[in-house]
Structure 1
Amino acid sequence: MSDQIILGAMFRAVGAYPSGWRYPGAHNNPLDDTAVLRKTAKLAEAAKLDYIFFGDWLATGHDLEFRDPYLLARIDPLSAITYLAGVTKKIGLIATANTTYTDVYALARATASVDRLSGGRAGLNLVTGAEPRAAGNHGRDAHWGNEHRYDQAGEFVDALRLLWDSWEDDAFVRNREDGVLIDPTKLHKAQYGGEHVRVAGALNVARPVQGQLPIVHAGTSLRSRQLVRDEADLALVALPSLSEAVAFTRHLKQEALNIGRDPEQIKVITPVLPIVAKTQAEAWEIFDTLISLVPLDDGGELSKADDFPKGRSIRALSPVVGVALGPRDLDDPVPVRVAARFSDVGKQLLETIASRTGRRIGSASRPVTYRHLLVTHVIPSSVIVGDAQAIADHFELWFTSGAVDGFNVLTAFMNDQFEAFTTLVVPELQRRGLFRTEYTGRTLRDHLGLDRPRNLHTIEREQRESAESVRSA
């Protein structure tokens, strides 16, 4: 494991916390996303972050307003990183593509192009999709099942790599005198014919600067973990506890070693949503405000909307905490006698609330309210709340314990919270020697400590020539 933490910024223009867009002064107009995108990129690069990460979602609807407002309307990820290639100079740029609904040749062409345009700073997060509405948006009757999607995704990656390697690195001879531009023996057709993916090739874009773009994949299911083990350079996984993260990372890297991969060439990254301020008290205040702005079922008109999420009422908490709560006001403190009867799940919620907000059952100054209990249950974000030292302590503990190689940093709302992270937390990590103070490489692979892969066709030719040499000896 490297001695430097990997830090990426996961961009969500109207904020990663569901009520972030409602915070006073927060960006909340998708029509102005370009300005926020540009500012975020500048701040991230000034802080020497490894990359900016763009997720994707292939549908929209009113229900997302309450659950994940950032998904309602957003700039296409490949368009975003292509735009930022001309706005930034050093930072990596990772876009998401859905293998279920994307043409492999078109994606190979677009990603090889943006890697060339950015000087080798592009990365690709591959997902198989979880939104049923995406099927109709792409002319299909139904969303494929999990096994079908992952069977297809494995073939997709194989074909993608062959397309990226269509041109060997020294294929362009450029001999003016003889009129020879290319060596045709070093231009290769993909000729990939799988059960789900078929493509002829060759790609009409030169090999990416990085040889092949770093591939990211998210998830902890058996099939997603297999795809990470076999193909991914970055594993993006939400890990609920330090001990589980350590176990997951050790197991994944051992599995990679078992199939002949260098385990140090797979980086485990986990998402985290820090609420940052100059003091702990100020950070608590910010988070309390965000919690107060989460739409809940309080009997008002908003909660009567057809698309309002189910289970956002105090009554819905009863089976969760194992106690019949009855009618209560959301901002009433949870009594000691009630909390004493909570189930293990309920007690875990109280522990989470205490770690994030400093609120405790029976406290006169910072009591746990039903609102805090309900919001903590319905929004399972990996939130950390504190000053720069507290956030850095968390990062350092997880990193030095071998739980993760780095973090995908979510921002509750733009712009102030992202600026607080880059100007408060990053310098603290740098002071501890855990994060760079200057870029030392020029490509995303350089930033991540990943080797540049050799061309598949070059390796195959060398193996063939070696075998022929042995036979003729």
Structure 2
Amino acid sequence: MSNRAYASRFRLEPLTWLSAVAAATERIGLIGTASTTYTQPYNLARLFASLDHLSAGRAGWNIVTTGAPQAAANFGLDAHPVHAERYERARDFLEAVTKLWDSWEDDALVADRAGGLFADTDRIHAVDHEGPLVRVKGPLNIPRSPQGRPVYVQAGSSPDGRALAARYAEAVFTAHQTPESAQEFYADLKGRAARLGRDPGQLLVLPGISPFVASTEAEARRLHEEFNSLTQPEYSLELLHRLLGIRLSQEELDGPVPRELIGTEGERGDHSRFRLVLGIIEREELTVRQLLHRLAGARGHRVIAGTPEQVADQLQQWFEQGAADGFNVMPPWLPGGFEVFADEVVPILRRRGLFRHASRAAHCGSTTGCPGRWGALGGCRAARRGRATFSGGAAPRGARSCAPHAAPTRSGAPRRRPPPRPVRQRPEAG
């Protein structure tokens, strides 16, 4: 990988960053990505339990298995585990880490200063998990957090990914270019959840969108083209290589995508994204440059360019036709792209009764009756009850603005907790 391509992948470690965000916010959900392939259950359980405590119950975990083969070398491995093995470990990992979060009962922390008792050891339990790929003794050395465990979010769309999501996830990030594809995924995932005895309404499906919003459709499309013109061919071709396994030169940018060079057999790191990009190639006659533009910012997610009304129309159509419970908003630029969406599109959705009003955000449990765990996702509703759920960039409006209000206990009954304490403001200099 070239230095330019590698430099574009600069990212802060998410749990550290989210801990800082937690200290400066009160209501937004904090969903961090962590891999079941390259972490251990005990360490991960400590990290997310700590974040949930620090944020007063706003933590979420985006569960991934890591599709990039080059990751193996960074963890001392000779080879990246194959797709099926990664998902087998993910299932084992989730069983183990859930047991760790449940190893402290709700009332285990006594904190009796007068009696000199910190915790009731009869309410703290060993885990003794012995799975096919994961072993951990436990218990966790952190008391049960406000939510009990983070909200489980997942993003795999392969058959293995769908099976994992149907069993464990509370929200699923996904990428679709057409309503038909999204509807198939939605129906399949909800059906899988129902067959496992779950309430399908407790599993939110959130396709990604990248909105270009302007006062006219022509202006929105011009803005989209302007962003496309800023793409770097060297990096874009490297991205195409990672997705499809083919290497092309800049001299081939204006020629057709060489479908005959793309192999469909063998192991794929990101199986679902490979199928999505292959579908774009087979459905549309694109040049290499045009395909790179489609993938540059949204990474295969749906790009919507139009007026606020046109963007709202498309979101409403997908929501009402059973293609989505809400959307993972991926602004083309930050913070401006998110602010435009929040200022121009969200009010239209509110007028149509498709998005909650800001006045409800701090009390979503008492006003809508939704489970407290949806608060960390900003949805404030059970799926299909009339309002769409949005997740997106950090902003005080729009996505993820509702604080959780209750946490599940080991017995299943909700446990009330106090609202987050206000953030202390730094005094102004005299």
Bin for the TM-score computed over the shorter chain: 0.7 to 0.9
User: How big is the shift at 1:374?
Assistant: 4.8
Tell me the matched-pair count: 345
The structure 1 residue matched to 2:84, chosen from 147, 167, 179, is 147
Q: Secondary structure at the match of 2:127?
A: strand
- Residue deviations 1:123-149 (CA, integer Å, cap 9, x gap): 000111111221111111111111111
Aligned 1:66-105 pairs, distance under 5 A: 70=8, 72-105=9-42
Q: Secondary structure at the match of 1:317?
A: coil
User: How big is the shift at 1:441?
Assistant: 3.5
- Residue deviations 1:382-415 (CA, integer Å, cap 9, x gap): 1110121111111111111121111111121223
Q: What is residue 53 of structure 1 aligned with on the other side?
A: none
Identify which range, 145-154 or 273-282, moves more after superposition: 273-282
Q: Which has the larger radius of gyration?
A: 1
Structure 1 residue 454 corresponds to structure 2 residue 409: yes
Q: What is residue 471 of structure 1 aligned with on the other side?
A: none
Aligned 1:412-423 pairs, distance under 5 A: 412-423=332-343
Distance 1:97 1:419 in 2: 28
Structure 1 residue 220 corresponds to structure 2 residue 149: no
Q: What is residue 318 of structure 2 aligned with on the other side?
A: 398
Distance 2:10 2:354 in 1: 36
Q: What is residue 317 of structure 1 aligned with on the other side?
A: 256
Distance 1:260 1:385 in 2: 40
The structure 2 residue matched to 1:287, chosen from 224, 231, 252, is 224
Distance change >3 Å, CA 320–CA 180, structure 1 → 2: closer
Q: Secondary structure at the match of 1:285?
A: helix
- Residue deviations 1:71-99 (CA, integer Å, cap 9, x gap): x2111111121111011110101000011
Distance change >3 Å, CA 346–CA 237, structure 1 → 2: closer
Distance 1:230 1:242 in 2: 24
Distance 2:118 2:247 in 1: 61
Unaligned runs of 5+ in 1: 1-59, 298-307, 322-343, 354-369, 460-473
Distance 1:131 1:318 in 2: 23
Unaligned runs of 5+ in 2: 235-245, 261-278, 366-371, 383-405, 413-430
Q: Secondary structure at the match of 1:288?
A: helix
Contact 2:72 2:80 in 1 (8 A): yes
Contact 1:173 1:181 in 2 (8 A): yes
Q: What is residue 364 of structure 2 aligned with on the other side?
A: 441
Aligned 1:60-459 pairs, distance under 5 A: 62=3, 64=5, 70=8, 72-176=9-113, 178-296=115-233, 310=248, 313-314=252-253, 316-317=255-256, 319=258, 348-349=283-284, 373-376=290-293, 379=296, 380-438=300-358, 439=361, 440-441=363-364, 445-446=374-375, 447-448=378-379, 449=381, 452-455=407-410, 458=411
C-alpha RMSD of the superposition? 2.9
Distance 1:78 1:98 in 2: 12
Letter in 1 for 2:317: L
Contact 1:276 1:283 in 2 (8 A): yes
Distance 2:257 2:87 in 1: 38
Q: Secondary structure at the match of 1:441?
A: helix
Distance 2:343 2:22 in 1: 23
User: How big is the shift at 1:163?
Assistant: 0.8
After superposing on structure 2, the runs of 4+ consecutive aligned residues of structure 1 that deviate more than 6 Å are 344-347
Letter in 1 for 2:81: W
Letter in 2 for 1:294: T
Distance change >3 Å, CA 149–CA 375, structure 1 → 2: closer
Identify which range, 148-157 or 177-186, moves more after superposition: 177-186
Q: What is residue 15 of structure 1 aligned with on the other side?
A: none
User: How big is the shift at 1:315?
Assistant: 5.7
User: How big is the shift at 1:102?
Assistant: 0.8
Distance 1:371 1:151 in 2: 36
Distance 1:318 1:156 in 2: 40
Distance change >3 Å, CA 250–CA 227, structure 1 → 2: same
Structure ranking higher on relative contact order (CA contacts 8 Å, 6+ apart) = 1
Letter in 1 for 2:3: H
User: How big is the shift at 1:204?
Assistant: 1.2
Contact 2:254 2:288 in 1 (8 A): no
Identity over the aligned pairs, expressed in percent?
37
Contact 1:210 1:445 in 2 (8 A): no
Q: TM-score, normalised by structure 1?
A: 0.67
Q: TM-score, normalised by structure 2?
A: 0.73
Letter in 1 for 2:164: L
Q: Secondary structure at the match of 2:3?
A: coil
